Amino acid sequence: NAGVTQTPKFRILKIGQSMTLQCAQDMNHNYMYWYRQDPGMGLKLIYYSVGAGITDKGEVPNGYNVSRSTTEDFPLRLELAAPSQTSVYFCASRGTENSPLHFGNGTRLTVT
């Protein structure tokens, strides 16, 4: 049981480049989330999804896009990378809206 799998683990982007952070879970969870963690800060919610085909904005959605075509996958897209998007990105899932989150191991992104 792999849980929540994020790829890649690390990435360096140049300003203006685009990339997709992948997230997959094998627990058949309906609820999936993307967070970013900046140094000395808590986790901030970027986007979330309550099921396949349904996504919604979190606290800090600007500069990002998501899709949820399947229950398992919840990719996060950066279209025009900016230095402000340098952060560690965590994907998480849970089976019900009240159960604890299961996190992936994160993607460390640097934009220079």
Partner 1 sequence: DQQVKQNSPSLSVQEGRISILNCDYTNSMFDYFLWYKKYPAEGPTFLISISSIKDKNEDGRFTVFLNKSAKHLSLHIVPSQPGDSAVYFCAASARLTGGGNKLTFGTGTQLKVEL
Interface residues toward partner 1, by CB under 8 A? 4, 31, 35, 40-45, 50, 58, 90, 92, 97-98, 100-106
Q: Least Å distance between CB 2 and partner 1?
A: 13
Nearer to partner 1 by Cβ, of 1 and 14: the residue is 1
Q: How far is the CB of 15 from partner 1 (least distance, A)?
A: 26
Q: E-strand spans in the chain?
A: 4-7, 10-13, 19-25, 31-37, 43-51, 54-57, 64-66, 76-78, 87-94, 102-103, 107-111
C-alpha span between 29 and 34 (Å, rounded) = 14
Decide: helix, strand or coil at residue 83: helix
Nearer to partner 1, 15 or 50 (CB): 50
Does the N-terminal peptide bond of residue 61 adopt cis geometry, omega within 30 degrees of 0?
no
Considering beta carbons, is residue 87 or 104 the nearer one to partner 1?
Answer: 104
Residue whose pair of structure tokens reads 């609820």 in the numeric block:
31
In the complex, least distance from residue 100 CB atom to partner 1, rounded to whole angstroms:
4
Closer of 43 and 66 to partner 1 (Cβ): 43
